[in-house]
């Protein structure tokens, strides 16, 4: 399926998101289970809660905006690096389970700095699978 919000998007999805959700503006989305589809964020800030696993894609519709993600299940570290590429300096997340040890990421110096100085994209992992 496809959901498109032309302005503010406040959505509760009582199961999995397998299709596409696209918002042109500020978004707050609660996904009760897994996100295996595509979420396209708008030009204002976005807050996403995933109650299960994150295996989908999150990309900006146009310009990246501040983005906050909570995953109560599993999210691969590589998928979080891909999000960071789209949202440099604008991405923060809390991940319950990943494929890396608990800690703050990214840990590589090359990912913690950009051409303007420090990069503030960060995520925490609580448990390793």
pLDDT at residue 44 in the model: 87
- For residue 20 the two structure tokens come to 């596409």
pLDDT in tens, 13-62: 999 999 999 999 999 999 999 999 999 998 889 999 999 999 999 999 88
pLDDT at residue 127 in the model: 98
Three-state SS for the chain is CEEEECCCEEEEECCCECCEEEECCCEEEEECCCECCEEEECCCCEEEEECCCECCEEEECCCCCCEEEEEEEEECHHHHHHHHHHCCCCEEEEEEEECCCCEEECCCHHHHEECCEECCCEEEEEEEC
Q: Would you say residue 89 has pLDDT above 90?
A: no
Boundaries of domain holding 69? 2-128
**Rounded Cα distance, 118 and 111, in Å:** 9
Q: Would you say residue 117 has pLDDT above 70?
A: no
How many domains does the structure of the chain reveal? 1
Mean pLDDT of the chain: 91
pLDDT at residue 115 in the model: 64
């Amino acid at each position: 399926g496809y959901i498109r919000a032309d302005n503010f998007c406040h959505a509760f999805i009582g199961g999995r998101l397998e299709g596409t959700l696209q918002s042109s503006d500020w978004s707050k989305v609660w996904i009760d289970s897994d996100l295996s589809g595509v979420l396209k964020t708008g030009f204002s800030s976005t807050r996403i809660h995933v109650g299960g696993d994150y295996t989908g894609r999150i990309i900006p519709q146009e310009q990246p905006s501040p983005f906050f993600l909570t995953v109560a299940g599993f999210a691969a570290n590589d998928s979080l690096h891909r999000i960071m590429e789209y949202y440099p300096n604008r991405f923060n997340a809390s991940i319950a389970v990943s494929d890396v040890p608990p800690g703050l990421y990214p840990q590589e110096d090359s990912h913690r700095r950009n051409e303007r100085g420090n990069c503030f994209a960060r995520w925490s992992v609580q448990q390793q699978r």
